Amino acid sequence: MGAVPVSPAPPAGAPRFDLPEIDAFTRPYWDAAAEGRLLIRRCADCGLAHHYPREFCPYCWSEDVTWEEASGAATLYTWSVVHRNDLPPFGARVPYTAAVVDLAEGPRMMTELIEAPAGGPRVGMRLRVAFRAADAAERDAPAVPVFRPLLACLPGVTA
């Protein structure tokens, strides 16, 4: 069995499948991410929070929703190590750990788990948000929220 080919780099100007389209509504979310803050939306009518930001509440359909800064704390709900992905630029990143986390404020969020412990991720493990530059080569690329095990966030502690 031979080596698995890695997807070539996309041609200049090709669409990026890993970067969001930032518009006027989501601009506060991405500006906060660039500052190292994670924002969620909370409904004034039903009180529930949601992520990814929408202009209405996905639970009760109210349009009375506001931005709220999340604590950055989460627990791991599920995860999968991706060994092959043919979409640029993901192919150059394999293997990586795709994850779904439960934010402390309630919403569930798709993300990437970084710095997983040697024994592997564990469902229920405590996590903390971090922000990764989407692409160092693209100056205007947004910072993307990712999560790492809580112990990896403490100075002098290894997970």
Residues in the chain: 159
Distance CA 123, CA 106 (A): 16
DSSP per-residue letters across 107-142: -EEEEEE-S--TT---TT-EEEEEEEES-TT-TTPP
Domain residues for 92? 27-153
Inside any domain, residue 14: no
Whole-structure pTM value: 0.80
Quick check: is 49 in a domain? yes
Quick check: is 40 in a domain? yes
Q: Please check whether residue 113 lies inside any domain of the structure.
A: yes
Identify whether the C-beta of residue 87 lies closer than 8 Å to the C-beta of residue 96.
no
Is 101 among the domain residues? yes
Cβ neighbour number for residue 158 with a 10 Å cutoff: 10
Residue 115 lies in a domain: yes
Digits of tens for pLDDT over the chain (159 positions)? 444 333 445 555 555 556 778 899 999 999 999 999 999 999 999 999 999 999 999 999 999 999 999 999 999 999 999 998 887 777 777 888 999 999 999 999 999 999 988 888 999 999 999 998 766 566 667 889 999 998 755 554 443
Cα separation, 81 vs 140, whole angstroms:
29
Domain for residue 129, yes or no? yes
